[in-house]
């Protein structure tokens, strides 16, 4: 399925503080990374795209304005993986993943065999089916992140939005999580992720949105966006750029 996201002139303020200003872009069935310094508006842009924050302008998914849809319909289109999961009860992994079916259920409608199969398939997709009966309080950070991704996949969304999915993970789990996310593109899911590690963003993403002070400073493929001049202008640090020998994508190194 072709999934086209069109963001048109969105702006958002927290009181008198302007977080986003006239942001516009279009993406279609790709892995898009949002990068930028702290306070540049990355998470705000993700939340506006999800319809969690109501911004000026509009966000269209295959021509439908999500700000005009009810939350249940939006949840059928968009799966969200927050930076810090809001789970306060010691539920099992299976229970958490099964929550992803809620947008597809009517009030007081019971879980059925189809829902259970979809939840099991989502756990298998991220390699956590062996954890199904474990409580989330027993999990490592990497395992918990996979559970939250599986819950989002159980929604059967067309779009997956992730806020720093590799935060607080070691390099092994970072690569594992991003490889998993990358594989979803081949299954017809469009992915937008806020990322801090520019080398990971470069290696895994198809397109990069570089934010600075609430505006898009640069957008395009990784070789167009991740350049010494862009990094210096936005982050205020001088770097050298090498080319990955296989992917030909940029690798950031710090000069002596």
Domain ranges, ordered by start, for the chain: 4-83+156-253
pLDDT exceeds 80 at position 14:
yes
Q: At 86, is the pLDDT very low, low, confident or very high (cuts 50, 70, 90)?
A: low
Q: Which of 59-63, 85-89, 210-214 has the highest mean pLDDT?
A: 210-214
178-219 pLDDT per residue, tens:
998 999 888 888 999 999 999 999 999 999 999 999 999 999
Query: Which DSSP state fits 230?
Result: H
91-110 pLDDT per residue, tens:
999 999 999 998 888 877 78
The Cα 234–Cα 228 span in angstroms is 10
The Cα 223–Cα 137 span in angstroms is 41
Count of residues in the chain: 256
The Cα 49–Cα 213 span in angstroms is 18
Q: In the numeric block, which tokens belong to residue 201?
A: 């963003």
What is the pLDDT, as a whole number, of residue 155? 93
Average pLDDT of every residue of the chain: 91
The Cα 87–Cα 242 span in angstroms is 41
Architecture of domain 4-83+156-253: 3-Layer(aba) Sandwich (3.40)
Query: Which DSSP state fits 131?
Result: G
Residues 36 and 44 sit within 8 Å (Cβ to Cβ) = no
C-alpha 58, offset from chain centre = 19
66-76 pLDDT per residue, tens:
888 888 888 88
Q: At 1, is the pLDDT very low, low, confident or very high (cuts 50, 70, 90)?
A: low
32, 42, 14, 6: which is closest to 213 by C-alpha?
Answer: 42
């Amino acid at each position: 399925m072709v999934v086209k996201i069109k963001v048109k002139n969105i702006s958002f303020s927290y009181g008198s503080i302007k977080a986003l200003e006239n942001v516009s872009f279009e993406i279609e069935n790709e892995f898009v990374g949002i990068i930028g310094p702290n306070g540049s508006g990355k998470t705000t842009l993700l939340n506006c795209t999800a319809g969690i924050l109501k911004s000026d302008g509009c966000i269209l998914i295959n021509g439908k304005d999500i700000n005009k849809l009810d939350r249940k319909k939006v949840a059928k289109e968009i799966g969200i993986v927050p930076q810090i999961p809001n789970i306060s009860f010691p539920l099992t992994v299976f229970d958490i993943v099964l929550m992803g079916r809620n947008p597809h259920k009517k009030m007081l409608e019971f879980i059925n065999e189809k829902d259970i199969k979809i939840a099991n398939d989502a756990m298998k997709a991220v390699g956590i089916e062996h954890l199904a009966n474990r409580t989330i309080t027993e999990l490592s950070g990497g395992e918990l992140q996979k559970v939250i991704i599986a819950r989002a996949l159980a929604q059967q969304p067309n779009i997956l939005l992730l806020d720093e999915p590799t935060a607080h993970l070691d390099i092994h789990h970072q690569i594992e999580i991003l490889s998993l996310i990358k594989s979803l593109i081949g299954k017809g899911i469009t992915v937008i992720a806020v990322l801090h590690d520019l080398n990971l963003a470069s290696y895994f993403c198809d397109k990069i949105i570089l934010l600075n002070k609430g505006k898009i400073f640069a957008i395009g493929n990784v070789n167009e966006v991740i350049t010494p001049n862009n990094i210096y202008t936005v982050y205020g640090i001088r770097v050298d750029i090498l080319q990955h020998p296989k992917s030909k994508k940029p690798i950031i190194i710090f000069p002596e």
